[in-house]
Amino acid sequence: MTSRILAALLALTGGLVLGGLLPLGFAMENQHERDYRTGTLTIAHTLAAASEERLADHEKSAALPRTLGALRAENDGGAGMAVTVVDDDGHTVIGADTGLYTPARATPALAGRTRLTRDGDRLIAAVPVSGHAEAVAGAVLLSRPLGPLNDRVMRLWGRLATVAVVAVAGAVVLAVSLARWVGRPLRALETAAESLGTGDLTARAAPPRRPVEVRRLAERFNVMATRLEGLVHDHRTMIADVSHQLRTPLAALRLRMELLATETGDGAEFDGALDELARLSRMVDGLLAVARAENVTATPEHVAVSRMLDERVEAWRPVAAERGVRLSAETNRPVAAQAVPAHLEQVIDNLIDNALTATPPEGHVRLGARRSGRRTCVTVIDDGPGMSAEAMAVAFRRFRTDSPAGTGLGLAIAHRLITADGGTIELSETPGGGLTATIDLPAGSR
């Protein structure tokens, strides 16, 4: 948002600078040049008027030196001005050492025409001196440096550049301030939305007083979050209540069937019915576990993953030995992650149980952990029959299972717990055959 507001204000400021300051600068530069040229002609005409007595009456007069001194003091570049006065025959009367006189410069003025030309870094003015009966008595040649004009133009552009820089800096400050003013409540709303997305159903945004649009958005978000919290809690409560209520009649029904099987002595059909009851009991227990998993609000903490894997291998080693499967943990160095310890332990136990069930005798189940950048990867690899791509795509959905004795809830619970801790869990084929479960979690902070 800051970049967009900054770009918009800079574009507006740039347009104003290019569309306003540049034309104004060129106009003022032209005006300064016209004023300087007009001032140069005015000085030359003043000197011509002061030279009339000397040229027309052929009398020595101090008017010209006094006038030239006053003009030098009053005008920019006066110290660098050079003046040459010639009579109507082209003879230099004053300023023979200035080098200004040439026939080409003096001829237009002696013919009664005023002329102003530029010669390098100087302006050359040639002005006729009036004599008796409107005759031309001579000419004044004035050379004035352009340095003061150039300095004046440079100061002009310097002031305009300062205005442009101040305008751009003001636009940047205004853009940043405006973006912070608008972005602060949006960032708070983003934080609340992120917390809600990670499972904190109590997350709410504090509606700001301004801007009004953001306040309304925050209020709508809070209404949505409240409704979502109610729906999720109702859903979880219903699953937990149903699961809890079903456990008691299922246990009573199983007990009665066991007693009936003992009394009748015909155990085949009753054994099948008891197996189905056991499966149904496991499913109800799984639903209850799902409901409890969805109510998880624990905060992830630093977990020594390598140590946990070693502990889980030791705990499951007797089961693996009974099934003739080799179980090992392959951790070369200590690895840590950010997770809820009980969650990670439950997920690893679930994956080990599945792997041991799928792996044939003489098979191998390997646990591993490694750190990759800011993430920690935990793997459970088996060399069993594996799963098809279609089965892996739906493995984390509830009640999806290929095992007749399974409930299809174990991986769903594992997925929910890992997601609540800010991680992911995926299934993939093991090279050479088998299934690999990969848990990706934020790396430990130390």
Q: Residue 135: give its domain's CATH number.
A: 3.30.450.20
Task: Say how far apart CA 153 and CA 159 lie, in whole Å.
Answer: 10
- CA–chain centroid gap for 31, Å, is 46
Backbone dihedral angles phi then psi of residue 46, each to the nearest 5 degrees: -65, -40
Please enumerate, as own/partner, the contacts of 286-289 that have beta carbons within 8 Å and a separation of 24 or more.
286/407, 286/409, 286/410, 286/413, 287/239, 287/242, 287/243, 287/409, 288/239, 288/240, 288/243, 288/244, 288/247, 289/409, 289/413
Residue ending a domain, among 118, 134, 153, is 153
pLDDT above 70 covers what percent of the chain?
79
Mean pLDDT value across residues 202-208: 81
Whether residue 171 lies inside any domain: the answer is: no
Task: Say how far apart CA 308 and CA 328 lie, in whole Å.
Answer: 13
Residue type, 17: V
Model-wide pTM > 0.75? no
Residue 53's domain comprises 2-153
Task: Say how far apart CA 75 and CA 62 lie, in whole Å.
Answer: 20
Residue ending a domain, among 243, 269, 294, is 294
> The domain spanning residue 261 has which CATH number?
1.10.287.130
Whether residue 406 lies inside any domain: the answer is: yes
Residue at token pair 């030098």: 72
Residue at token pair 């030309």: 117
Query: Per-residue pLDDT tens for 365-424?
Result: 999 998 888 889 999 999 888 888 888 887 877 666 665 555 566 787 788 788 877 788
Whether residue 412 lies inside any domain: the answer is: yes
Same domain, yes or no: 309 and 327: yes
Mean pLDDT value across residues 83-106: 85
pLDDT at position 291: 56
Whether residue 195 lies inside any domain: the answer is: no
Whether residue 200 lies inside any domain: the answer is: no
